[in-house]
Amino acid sequence: MCAMARPRKPLLNRDRIVETAGALVDAEGLAALSTRRLAAELGVSGPSLYNHFRTKDEILDAVADAVSAKIDLSMFAPDDPRDWRTALHDWALSYRAALADHPHVVPVLAQGPGRRPAGLKVADAVFGAMVRAGWPPAQATHIGALMRYFVTGSALGSFARGFVDDETAYDPADYPHLGQAHRLAEHREKVDEGAFATGLRALLDGLGARYEQEAHVSGGAET
């Protein structure tokens, strides 16, 4: 056959690597992503990847950022009609949906944006919108942070999936109130979505009360 060294057309590029890595992580989890396995999937040898990324972690960062890029930020645009409360609500749903589609990537995203462009765009958009709505910068920072806590926490640890689907696992003598815990696995989605909806509503109600109470009169822009 032809001697393999450098093809005239590159076999690899960053996009193809990120796409394949993402598919692998989605299908089999973070542990399945090894440079050798990924390279095999791409039809090249392991070290080839290092012509396009400096480390495996950089590949994983790019995969994570591709997930962040799917989060809807339109509600934070200056000319969007939604008030800050509705904007946060709609954003949280889109945020959670993006992570729920790629649960294995959540541990990476939960660590914060770092230098990932799409992750930074998200942080920038929510901060800017909250300040425009009248929140003091310190509070706007807190809101961005606490929303991330809640959304990534909910996406990372599906509550119901956190219990084992095995009746004998939860001895009533040890855990008097967990009699039905193994049943959680059955209606997993309902529990997770219910808990998320309840928490989001409580969070926004609580923030709303604080907003009104603390009289955010504007010296400049107003709602």
Binding site for a copy of itself (CB under 8 A): 107, 110-115, 117, 120-121, 123-125, 127-128, 131, 138-139, 141-146, 148-154, 156-164, 169-170, 174-178, 181, 184, 191-192, 194-196, 198-199, 201-207, 209-210
Residue 144 neighbours by CB distance under 10 Å? 20
Could you tell me the smallest distance in angstroms from the CB atom of residue 142 to a copy of itself?
A: 4
Query: What b/e sequence results for 53-91 when a residue is b if at least 16 CB atoms lie within 10 Å of its CB, and e otherwise?
Result: beeeeebbbbbbbbbbeebebebbeeeeebebeebbbbb
Q: Rounded distance, CA 71 to CA 10, Å?
A: 32
Q: Residue 25 or residue 71: which is nearer to DNA going by CB? A: 25
Could you tell me the smallest distance in angstroms from the CB atom of residue 50 to DNA?
A: 5
Both tokens of 1, joined, read 């056959």
Question: Taking CB under 7 A as the rule, which mask of x and - marks residues 4-23 in contact with DNA?
Answer: xxxx--xxx-----------
Residue with tokens 């056959």: 1
Question: Taking CB under 7 A as the rule, which mask of x and - marks residues 37-76 in contact with DNA?
Answer: x-x----xxxxx-xxx-xxxx-------------------
Assess 3 for contact with DNA (CB under 7 A). yes
Q: Rounded distance, CA 65 to CA 24, Å?
A: 16
The option from DNA, a copy of itself, none interacting with 8 (CB < 5 to 8 A, set by class) reads none
The option from a copy of itself, DNA, none interacting with 20 (CB < 5 to 8 A, set by class) reads none
The option from a copy of itself, DNA, none interacting with 45 (CB < 5 to 8 A, set by class) reads DNA
Q: Rounded distance, CA 155 to CA 159, Å?
A: 9
Q: Residue 30 or residue 204: which is nearer to DNA going by CB? A: 30
Both tokens of 188, joined, read 């997993």
Binding-site member from 25, 33, 62, 200 for DNA (CB under 7 A): 33
Q: Rounded distance, CA 223 to CA 201, Å?
A: 21
Could you tell me the smallest distance in angstroms from the CB atom of residue 32 to a copy of itself?
A: 15
Q: Residue 16 or residue 72: which is nearer to a copy of itself going by CB? A: 72
Residue with tokens 């954003």: 91
SS3 216: coil
Per the CB < 8 A criterion, the answer to whether 151 and 99 are in contact is yes
Could you tell me the smallest distance in angstroms from the CB atom of residue 146 to DNA?
A: 33
Q: Rounded distance, CA 102 to CA 155, Å?
A: 9
Contacting residues toward DNA, per CB under 7 A: 3-7, 10-12, 33-37, 39, 44-48, 50-52, 54-57
